[in-house]
């Protein structure tokens, strides 16, 4: 089940409306987005609309997936989100951003 979560989280690719492909891996590597303790992505100091669209799209897919896991395991959604957040931050490579609730930090 954990492999499914991470496959979904890290395997999502989204095309932006600007004809340039912005994917999750590239956005993380560039420091545009980071993982949070809530289990969702967030923009890191950017107002770029393509980044915001990427974050919104991935977070909506994550939430749907988390809801399915919560339902299947009869667990509160918040528990699944927090577990996913901890695991995503732990797997974040050095040089990328995480926010454990006390602001953005480069790992």
Residue in the block written with tokens 């995503």: 88
Question: If we measure between CA atoms, which residue out of 51, 42, 40, 48 comes closest to residue 14?
Answer: 51
Ranges of the chain whose pLDDT falls below 50: 6-20
pLDDT of residue 4: 55
Residue 84 structural domain: 2-106
Question: How many domains does one find in the chain?
Answer: 1
Separation of alpha carbons 2 and 80, rounded Å = 11
pLDDT of residue 20: 44
H helical segments located in the chain: 2-11, 24-29, 49-73, 77-91
Is residue 81 a contact partner of residue 38, using CB atoms and an 8 Å limit? yes
pLDDT of residue 37: 96
Separation of alpha carbons 71 and 77, rounded Å = 8
pLDDT of residue 22: 77
pLDDT of residue 16: 29
């Amino acid at each position: 089940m954990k492999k499914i979560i991470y496959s979904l989280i890290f395997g999502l690719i989204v095309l932006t409306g600007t004809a340039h492909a912005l994917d999750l891996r590239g956005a993380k590597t560039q420091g545009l987005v980071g993982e949070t303790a809530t289990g969702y992505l967030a923009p890191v100091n950017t107002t770029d609309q393509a980044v915001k669209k990427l974050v919104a799209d991935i977070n909506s897919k994550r939430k749907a997936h988390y809801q399915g896991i919560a339902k299947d395991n009869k667990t509160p959604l918040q528990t699944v989100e927090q577990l996913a957040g901890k695991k995503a931050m732990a797997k974040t490579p050095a040089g990328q951003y995480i926010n454990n609730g006390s602001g953005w930090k480069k790992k």
